[in-house]
Structure 1
Amino acid sequence: MKKSRAAAGTAGRPGARAPHGGKAPQGQESWLYGDHAVLAALANPRRKLRRLVVTRAKFDAFDPDLQGHIQSLIAPEFFDKDALAALLPENAIHQGIALLPAPLAEPAIEDLPGAEETEPAVVAVLDQVTDPQNVGAILRSAAAFNVKALIVPDRHSPPVTGVLAKAASGALETVPVIRVGNLSRALDQLADRGYWRIGMDGKADKTLEQAAQGLQKVALILGSEGKGLRHLTAEKCDLLAKLPIGPQIESLNVSNAAAIAFYELDRPGRLTGKK
């Protein structure tokens, strides 16, 4: 290891305090749309809800229990499809429902499991991944394979919008997104909290399976869609690793690579203490 570790719309309004010194909501309010994104946000008790817009046909198709639950949270506004679509980005596939929530409070790296905690943990770090659909798909895979958080730089990362939330298919409500001003400093903080920083690089000597053997806490770092890891980010990594793909293709889309890497790290016995 490179350093010792101790034995992760409209202007936003102030919301609930973030835990352990994390940031209060600072992002812009943005419409969420589509069944998965909206229903997951409605089910999240940490969400402050502003408006719920739905077609009458969509609302009537819900079972009575869900209708009653929604009405206990917020009064729905009934719009026709065209009026609803006018609130959203062009060509948004809204499925007849849209929600305007306040941004979630942002946690901090200090909220992640630390070196003193014996359970294995994986966090993902994105190095200038800018496509919102890729980031949303990575969040969805992170939720599927027990990744504790997604860490992204403030700059060169997409804002949390309806496009990202729809691609995440509800995972935005379950996987914390930690935005950091300085990615290099964040990687140092992760090291201090006991995380081995593994950068994904197709030219690495070791596979991810080999690199992760015997580790307990991993920060998996994925580079941008075209250029991969930046040189300075790669220098911060304790290890570089690759996925064992065939020679017919040079690389995978970053969201596909993330899904495979998360699965690999979530396999029983892959990390120390993983059952």
Structure 2
Amino acid sequence: MAGNSQRRGRRVTSKKGASGGSGGKNRAGLAGKGRTLPADERPWHKAYSGTEKLPQRTAWKQDKERRAAAEEGRAPKAGVPGSKDTTWGRGTQGVKPTRRGGGGGAAPARRGGPKVAPGRKSNPAKGTPELLVGRNPVVEALRAHVPATALYVALGIDADDRVNELVRTAADRGIPILEVSRAELDRMTGGVLHQGVGIQVPPYSYEPFEDLLVASAEASAPLLVALDGVTDPRNLGAVIRSAAAFGAQGVFMPERRAASMTATAWRTSAGAAARLPVSQVTNLTRAIKACQRAGFVVIGLDADGETDVYDLETAVGPVVVVVGSEGRGLSRLVGETCDLRVGIPMASSVESLNASVAAAVTLAEINRRRTVG
């Protein structure tokens, strides 16, 4: 063959013709959408002045939400005049509301979807939405008007009274209901037992410690629970459940090196976190001393405590029960600050009880003494 067409290492370049146009189909997409409204002219923005006339559809939606909120005895949703922020919990301590986006969606948790605390893995990033799972926790959350942004229901789920209630409640409140496969829900929850349902919620909002202390001091039988370095969210949820069951007014714990209110903690509490305020404090020792100044007797749970829990005569007065961490128990400084160290007698050679079990035994004994006395 003539020429260099068979030359080894020759360079072959394709001749690309002119690109075809869209025929004007994309011309509308290039058109401008008008000016961007300033904050004081956006009806959904907190800086809205309220002097401009609302668009007809916006006014109708806001009026509908106000009527629904009045019938249910709650505050309107975020974006409606008179509404609260979208954080959930009992307090408003420095937590910014999260923006509702796209109806929740079934996006993977790694990219913009809800964060789930799968088992004993590390807690999700602070300020990100989470997925609450389990039929009882989800029902309790909806009853407590936790501002859910999406409800996930597994395909082919066996519907019972709880499932019917949560689906009906979500539909009444305009929460998007998304049907996903069980495999997808398993992947989203990281293998946590979900019972076929889950709701996406904004970050938990903690009660300010000062408000918690004042409210508990005004109760007829003041009782608080403090957690000293409890790092397992399951133990946190179990303690909250026991505290709510035995009449405590709240739980407080340090912000650092301790478990926080994740989806795992919520699920373990079986929804008790909706009824019991939880606070985070910067310095646990300082918070305990504030309780002492308010008239509380602080007792620390210690396997080698000098006082038997069944001889706790101070249980009838204002009490703070301090529960130590799973491994080392009470820290040195917290232990020295406690007024009493209380031990639980055991018949066997077991060294110590689980933190949440020890808390439940102590709270049950305090409740028994108060009921009998």
Aligned-partner Cα distance in 2 for 1:204–1:149: 24
Matched with 1:259 is 360
Q: 2:199 aligns with which of 99, 120, 123?
A: 99
Q: 1:121 aligns with which of 213, 222, 240?
A: 222
The reply on whether 1:88 has 2:189 as its aligned counterpart is: yes
Identity of aligned residues (%): 28
CA displacement, residues 150-191 of structure 1 (integer Å, 9 cap, x when unaligned): 111111112322222222111221222111111111112212
**CA, structure 1 residues 256+193, in 2 after alignment: closer, same or farther (shift >3 Å)?**
same
Could you list the runs of 5+ residues in structure 2 that have no partner in the other structure?
Answer: 1-84, 97-125
Secondary structure in 1 matching 2:156: helix
Amino acid in the other structure paired with 1:164? A
Moved more, 58-67 or 153-162: 58-67
Q: Is the contact between residue 24 and residue 105 of structure 1 (CA under 8 Å) also seen in structure 2?
A: yes
Q: 2:296 aligns with which of 188, 195, 202?
A: 195
**CA, structure 1 residues 39+17, in 2 after alignment: closer, same or farther (shift >3 Å)?**
closer
1:204, CA displacement in angstroms?
1.6
TM-score, length-scaled by structure 1 = 0.83
**CA, structure 1 residues 167+80, in 2 after alignment: closer, same or farther (shift >3 Å)?**
same
1:224, CA displacement in angstroms?
0.8
**CA, structure 1 residues 64+230, in 2 after alignment: closer, same or farther (shift >3 Å)?**
closer
CA displacement, residues 11-69 of structure 1 (integer Å, 9 cap, x when unaligned): xxx64698787444674321111112211111112x21111111243374447555422
Q: 1:168 aligns with which of 262, 269, 289?
A: 269
Aligned-partner Cα distance in 1 for 2:270–2:285: 30
Q: Is the contact between residue 22 and residue 106 of structure 1 (CA under 8 Å) also seen in structure 2?
A: yes
Amino acid in the other structure paired with 2:224? V
Amino acid in the other structure paired with 1:57? G
Aligned-partner Cα distance in 2 for 1:21–1:42: 19
**CA, structure 1 residues 16+33, in 2 after alignment: closer, same or farther (shift >3 Å)?**
closer
**CA, structure 1 residues 65+150, in 2 after alignment: closer, same or farther (shift >3 Å)?**
closer
Matched with 1:7 is none
Task: Give the aligned CA root-mean-square deviation in angstroms.
Answer: 2.7
Q: 2:287 aligns with which of 186, 191, 212?
A: 186
TM-score, length-scaled by structure 2 = 0.63
Could you list the runs of 5+ residues in structure 1 that have no partner in the other structure?
Answer: 1-13
1:113, CA displacement in angstroms?
5.2
The reply on whether 1:218 has 2:319 as its aligned counterpart is: yes
The reply on whether 1:246 has 2:334 as its aligned counterpart is: no
Larger radius of gyration: 2
Matched with 2:156 is 57
Aligned-partner Cα distance in 1 for 2:368–2:238: 20
